[in-house]
Structure 1
Amino acid sequence: MSGYTDDLSGHVSASVQSGGTRRADAQRNRERILQAARDLVRGPGELKLNAVAKACGIGQGTLYRHFPTREDLLAEVYRHEVEDLVAAAPRLLATHRPLDALAAWFDRVAAYARVKRDVFAAVEAATWRDLAAHSLGPIGEAVEQLLAAGRSAGTVRADAEARDVIVLISWLSRLDDAELDARGPRLLSILVDGLRAEHHWA
Structure 2
Amino acid sequence: MTPPSMRKDAARNRQCILDVARRLIDEGTPLQLNDIARLAGVGVATTYRHFPTPEALMETVATPGLEALITRAEQALTEEDPWGALTGFLGTTLTMQLTDPSITLVRAAPEHVLPRTRELTATLDALAGRLLKRAQAAGSVQGVVTWDDLLPLMCGIAYAAGVHADGQEERLDSGRRYLGVMLRGLRS
TM-score > 0.5 by shorter chain: yes
- Partner in structure 1 of residue 187 of structure 2: 196
- Partner in structure 2 of residue 100 of structure 1: 84
Structure 2 gap segments, 5+ residues each: 166-170
Shift of 1:90: 1.5
- Partner in structure 2 of residue 13 of structure 1: none
**AA matched with 2:176:** P
2:36 is aligned, of 42, 46, 49, to: 49
Tell me if the contact between 2:70 and 2:124 (Cα under 8 Å) persists in the aligned partners. yes
**AA matched with 1:194:** G
1:186 is aligned, of 177, 180, 183, to: 177
Shift of 1:185: 0.5
TM-score, scaled relative to structure 1: 0.56
- Partner in structure 1 of residue 168 of structure 2: none
Post-superposition Cα deviations, 1:119-174, rounded to whole Å, max 9, x if no partner, equal 699xxxxxx43229957744432321111221333333333322221242231343
Q: Distance in 1 between matches of 2:179 and 2:159?
A: 14
Across the aligned residues of Structure 1 and Structure 2, the Cα RMSD in angstroms comes to: 4.3
Post-superposition Cα deviations, 1:39-69, rounded to whole Å, max 9, x if no partner, equal 541232578535875xxxxx747x7464355
Q: How does 1:1-202 map to 2 (within 5 A)?
A: 34=18, 37-41=21-25, 42-45=28-31, 48-49=35-36, 53=40, 60=42, 64=47, 66-67=50-51, 70-95=54-79, 97-110=81-94, 111-112=96-97, 114-117=101-104, 128-131=109-112, 134=118, 137-175=122-160, 176=162, 178-179=164-165, 180-197=171-188
Q: Distance in 2 between matches of 1:112 and 1:151?
A: 25
User: Which moved further from structure 2: 168-177 or 32-41?
Assistant: 32-41
Distance 1:93 1:68, change over 3 A: same
Q: Whose radius of gyration is greater, 1 or 2?
A: 1
Distance 1:44 1:159, change over 3 A: same
Q: Distance in 2 between matches of 1:159 and 1:119?
A: 26
**AA matched with 2:111:** D
Secondary structure at the counterpart of residue 90 of structure 2:
helix
Distance 1:159 1:174, change over 3 A: same
Residues matched between the structures, number:
166
Q: Distance in 1 between matches of 2:51 and 2:142?
A: 44
Identity of aligned residues (%): 27
TM-score, scaled relative to structure 2: 0.60
Distance 1:87 1:118, change over 3 A: same
Structure 1 gap segments, 5+ residues each: 1-20, 54-58, 122-127, 198-202
**AA matched with 1:162:** W
